[in-house]
């Protein structure tokens, strides 16, 4: 089967998932004919993605988050306003997706939670099957945990997730832990890089930090200054900065290098990161202690932080305080082995997915959104 990927360009997680899925399907004789990557003005395409995806990359403008002046907090009003003003640009992006799809004629378009992927499938109705994959699709599961307040944020999050999966034939919901399939979603393990299997996890003398937004650097520097006895290696992707920066003797800030990041994760005492999905699952696979700091204004991360605490995966905090990890115990070895076994069941999952007959079933009934094959000309 021939796959066309559409990948959200915000953060490292979706790109890492795309690499992992490409490795899995190629091992079974399938092909990734091209990758459409949503462009983020805040980040360049990481070298590891260009090196390891092994397919032509088409970089197109796509909706993404806008931050406050400190590049730390997500601004909902700014995000909505700026993306609305860019609507003509995004319409051109949809046309470009259509041309790429026509050129490659894939059997499956696989969307890694990019909004334009769902809009393209809904408006253009391509002949290829449309699959979606991401942790966000667990919102359709009865066990998903939402914050008790922030009703508007919840509605917007659900609406965006539904749009990204508009007309999908398959919904693959990545989960922190095994859950029973519910309704029209298939609950699947995290998509982790195969390199993790070959690492030798051990507790080193430092903590590892990963920051999506460079604005968190000030908080890290302040903590390192007040706690010189705690050694920290941090990764960020701030444009224009040196490969490695030492603001304090006990703190290094390094540009994202995926291989080095994984090696440091294997050797760290614990991981402190924003409450995304991918890095947390990698740390779980390696049996590391975990603390998450949800990005303010990003509702999905608020949901993840609740789940991480409720399921005792790690701890959640509002600031970088590595002392909290010092007080937590090490992971149970048998539980880690069980988790690793579940993650490594992906080969069988891929085989089952690709053997299934095509289904004409869609998630939302016809007519629930506009139905036009060429709505944008």
Burial 17-52 (b: 16+ CB within 10 A, else e): bbbbbbbbbeeeebbbbbbbbbbbebbeebebbeeb
Q: Is 14 left (phi over 0), alpha (psi -120 to 50) or beta?
A: alpha
| Cα distances (angstroms) measured from residue 288 to each of 155, 236, 293, 326, 335 | 34, 20, 16, 12, 12
Domains of the chain: 2-190+343-355 (3.40.50.2000), 194-331 (3.40.50.2000)
Q: Whole-angstrom Cα distance, residue 260 to residue 248?
A: 20
Q: Pick the closest to residue 285 from 249, 337, 346 (CA basis).
A: 337
Name residues whose C-beta falls within 8 Å of residue 55's C-beta, 6 or more positions apart in sequence. Answer: 5, 22, 32, 33, 34, 35
- Taking only the tens of pLDDT, the chain with its 377 residues reads 999 999 998 767 899 999 999 999 999 999 999 999 998 666 677 788 888 999 999 999 988 776 665 555 666 777 788 877 888 999 999 999 999 999 999 999 999 999 999 999 999 999 999 999 999 999 988 889 998 888 888 999 999 999 999 999 999 999 999 988 777 789 999 999 888 989 999 989 999 999 867 778 888 999 999 999 999 999 987 766 778 889 999 999 998 888 899 999 999 999 999 998 999 999 999 999 999 999 888 899 999 999 999 999 999 998 889 999 888 877 888 999 999 999 999 999 999 998 874 444 344 444 444 443 433 33
How big is the CA angle at 36 (ends 33 and 39), to the nearest 5 degrees?
A: 160
Q: What are the two backbone dihedrals, phi and then psi, of residue 254, each rounded to the nearest 5 degrees?
A: -120, 145
Contact partners, residue 152, CB within 8 Å, separation at least 6:
none
Q: How many residues does the chain have?
A: 377
């Amino acid at each position: 089967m021939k796959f066309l990927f559409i990948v959200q360009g915000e953060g490292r997680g979706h790109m890492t998932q795309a690499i992992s899925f490409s490795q899995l399907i190629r091992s079974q004789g399938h092909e990734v004919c091209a990758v459409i990557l949503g462009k983020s003005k805040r980040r360049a395409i990481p070298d590891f993605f260009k090196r390891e995806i092994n397919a032509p990359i088409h970089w197109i403008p796509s909706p993404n988050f806008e931050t406050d002046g400190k590049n730390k907090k997500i601004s909902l009003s700014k995000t909505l306003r700026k993306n609305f003003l860019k609507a003509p640009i995004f319409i051109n992006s949809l046309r470009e997706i259509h041309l790429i799809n026509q050129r490659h004629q894939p059997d499956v378009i696989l969307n890694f939670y990019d909004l334009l992927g769902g809009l393209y499938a809904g408006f253009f109705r391509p002949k290829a099957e449309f699959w979606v994959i991401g942790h966000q699709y667990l919102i359709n599961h009865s066990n998903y945990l939402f914050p008790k307040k922030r009703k508007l944020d919840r509605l917007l999050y659900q609406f965006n997730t539904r749009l990204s999966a508009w007309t999908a034939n398959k919904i693959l919901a990545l989960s922190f832990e095994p859950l029973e399939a519910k309704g029209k979603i298939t609950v699947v393990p995290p998509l982790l890089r195969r390199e993790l299997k070959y690492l030798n996890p051990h507790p080193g003398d430092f903590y590892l930090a990963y920051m999506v937004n460079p604005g968190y650097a000030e908080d890290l520097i302040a903590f390192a200054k007040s706690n010189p006895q705690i050694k920290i290696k941090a990764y960020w992707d701030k444009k224009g900065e040196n490969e490695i920066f030492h603001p304090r003797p006990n703190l290094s800030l390094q540009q994202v290098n995926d291989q080095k990041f994984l090696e440091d994760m294997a050797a760290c005492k614990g991981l402190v990161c924003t409450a995304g999905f991918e890095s947390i699952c990698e740390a779980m696979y390696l049996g590391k202690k975990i603390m998450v700091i949800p990005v303010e204004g990003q509702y999905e991360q608020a949901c993840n932080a609740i789940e991480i605490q409720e399921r005792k995966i790690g701890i959640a905090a509002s600031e970088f305080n590595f002392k909290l990890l010092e007080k937590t115990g090490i992971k149970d070895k048998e539980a880690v082995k069980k988790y690793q076994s579940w993650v490594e069941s992906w080969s069988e999952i891929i085989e089952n997915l690709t053997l299934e007959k095509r289904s004409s079933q869609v998630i939302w009934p016809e007519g629930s959104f506009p139905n036009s094959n060429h709505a944008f000309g």
